[in-house]
Amino acid sequence: MSAFQGTTAPARPGGSGGLERGAGAGNGTGSGAAPGRADAGGVSAAGVSAAGHGTPASVVGLLAQLASVGVDPRRGGYTRAGFSREERTLHEWFVQEATARGLDVERDRNGVLWAWWDVPGGSRSNAVATGSHLDSVPGGGQYDGPLGVASALAAVDWLRVRGLRPARPLAIVVFPEEEGSRFGVACLGSRLLTGRLDPATAAGLRDASGVTLAEALAESGLDARHLGRDQAALERIGCFVELHVEQGRGLIDRGAAVGLGSSVLGHGRWKLRFSGQGNHAGTTLMDDRRDPLVAAAGAVLAVRDAARAVPEARATVGRLQPLPGGTNVIASAVELWIDARHPDDEVTAALLESIHADAAAAAEAEGCSVELTAESVSPTVDFDHALTTRLGEALEGTTSGGLPDGGPALPAARGGVPVLATGAGHDAGVLAAEIPTAMLFVRNPTGISHSPEEYAADEDTETGALALADALQELLLAP
């Protein structure tokens, strides 16, 4: 399944910054922009041409186009691993949607997709970037990742209908393997892009079937020798805004459809490997065993208890793998993974020390040994305060562009836009170390995420897209 390669979009005519309504208003457009793909499944058929004609795509309609990709009948929800066939299919969908809007799509050497709405002259600097990811956790929901990408496409439609003439370029960005569900490193694409992950280490990462990242990249037409910090790509971006479904209860409790992010809680992943003695389940007497799975069970409880003892800490074992993994076999080794989070990075480090000590005691009690390794650790990240304040003011003061056809007024705009910290990691958290970054959250009435029960009401997703359009408009009209 070879994906698209390189750039696909047509040339970019000119224009100048400002708001203009009507024909020819959209710049950075392509003469070949095709507003309505017949095969797109409904939504694009009523899409917006690059010149600003038509009806903006609905977020619901865009997400519906993805409904059949990566359906997981066993777990429920979706399984769309990084650099898998499913993620490639979703990337191909994105390229089609972006190209249909006259955006110039490229894939960089780390596998990150960029879809450009250029300014006259085509200079790509000080750009406003927005976007998210299309991969999922195993058995994930419909919104985590795709909501930000679909909302970005819909926001471009709204800006075109409003006749926006950007003073700076816009890029919609799609990061690969954000969840880290295949190669164990969350935000893999943005970490590679920013150089936060050593390219040689990354290339050697293996998935559960032993496939290396280098091999998976090759299947997607990428060369692992070219991985690593991409200064030229980063220098083009002036700021980044990621819209994401909320993964907690902050907006429900505040009665708001849309909020802004203040920070991403520090988080990390560690692996505990218990080694014991593999043996026969029938012939090995209970007193003669060195069973690493029993030791691991003690560690699972220790993880919970350690986190419970520290206010605001969260620690989870969601994945545990006995080796070789047979019903009538005492395991020889067990690997389990710990996800731990706390606003204070020193507290997180102390938490892991305490868990490690408890795991070592549990291992010793069973005649086993244990080894702890850190797989990825991210400190607490604060989003750019000035950018977030600017967007908050823009969203409060707006009625979605102030134009009669600019979309309905934002319900969230009444009474102020809540600003929330998030316990979930995001590519925005990685980029925040490089460039001014902000996040928008859309209410999730279940408060549940990384599960098929993750949800956003249809009207809230459209409100989110309008809020993103308003935020981008604010940023695109002035540096």
* Minimum distance from residue 141 beta carbon to Zn ion (Å): 10
Number of residues interacting with Zn ion: please give it, by CB under 5 A.
2
> Which pair of structure tokens corresponds to residue 89?
């299919």
Q: Name which of 51 and 424 has its Cβ closer to Zn ion.
A: 424
Q: Name which of 86 and 358 has its Cβ closer to Zn ion.
A: 86
Q: Name which of 390 and 426 has its Cβ closer to Zn ion.
A: 426
Interface with Zn ion includes 427 (CB under 5 A)? Answer: no
* Minimum distance from residue 449 beta carbon to Zn ion (Å): 8
* Minimum distance from residue 304 beta carbon to Zn ion (Å): 25
* Minimum distance from residue 112 beta carbon to Zn ion (Å): 15
Output the CA–CA distances (angstroms, integers) from residue 203 to 109, 191, 212, 228, 243, in the order listed. 13, 13, 7, 10, 29
> Which pair of structure tokens corresponds to residue 92?
């191909």
For the chain, the farthest-separated pair of C-alpha atoms sits apart, in whole angstroms, at 82
Q: Name which of 133 and 168 has its Cβ closer to Zn ion.
A: 133
Write the binding mask 385 to 424 for Zn ion: x where contact by CB under 5 A, - elsewhere.
----------------------------------------
* Minimum distance from residue 468 beta carbon to Zn ion (Å): 15
Q: Name which of 144 and 177 has its Cβ closer to Zn ion.
A: 144
Cα 144 off chain centre by = 7
* Minimum distance from residue 148 beta carbon to Zn ion (Å): 8
Q: What angle do CA 57, 58, 62 make, to 5 degrees?
A: 85
> Which pair of structure tokens corresponds to residue 354?
């305490």
* Minimum distance from residue 367 beta carbon to Zn ion (Å): 41
Q: Name which of 148 and 418 has its Cβ closer to Zn ion.
A: 148
Q: Name which of 96 and 132 has its Cβ closer to Zn ion.
A: 132
Contact yes or no for 364/292 (Cβ under 8 A): no
Q: How far apart are CA 10 and CA 25, in angstroms?
A: 17
Question: What value does the CA radius of gyration of the chain take, rounded to a whole number of Å?
Answer: 24
* Minimum distance from residue 425 beta carbon to Zn ion (Å): 8
Output the CA–CA distances (angstroms, integers) from residue 322 to 144, 150, 275, 288, 308, in the order listed. 29, 39, 10, 19, 26
Cα 64 off chain centre by = 19
In sequence order, the 6+-apart residues with CB closer than 8 A to the CB of 241 are: 128, 129, 130, 387, 391, 428, 437, 438, 439, 440, 468, 471, 472, 475
Q: How far apart are CA 399 and CA 340, in angstroms?
A: 40
Q: Hey, which residues between 135 and 154 contact Zn ion (CB under 5 A)? A: 144-145
Q: How far apart are CA 207 and CA 214, in angstroms?
A: 11
Q: Name which of 247 and 398 has its Cβ closer to Zn ion.
A: 247
Q: Name which of 30 and 141 has its Cβ closer to Zn ion.
A: 141
DSSP three-state, residue 127: strand
DSSP track, 272-322: EEEE---EETTTS-GGG---HHHHHHHHHHHHHHHHHTSTT-EEEEEEEEE
Q: Name which of 160 and 191 has its Cβ closer to Zn ion.
A: 191
* Minimum distance from residue 442 beta carbon to Zn ion (Å): 12
Q: Name which of 52 and 145 has its Cβ closer to Zn ion.
A: 145
* Minimum distance from residue 475 beta carbon to Zn ion (Å): 22
Q: Which residue is nearest to Zn ion (CB)?
A: 144
DSSP-derived secondary structure letter, 109? T
- Element at 421 (helix H, strand E): strand 419-422
Long-range CB contacts (< 8 A, 24+ apart) of 120-123?
120/13, 120/14, 120/15, 120/16, 120/27, 120/28, 121/14, 122/12, 123/169
* Minimum distance from residue 246 beta carbon to Zn ion (Å): 11
Write the binding mask 99 to 138 for Zn ion: x where contact by CB under 5 A, - elsewhere.
----------------------------------------
Chain residues that interact with Zn ion, rule: CB under 5 A? 144-145
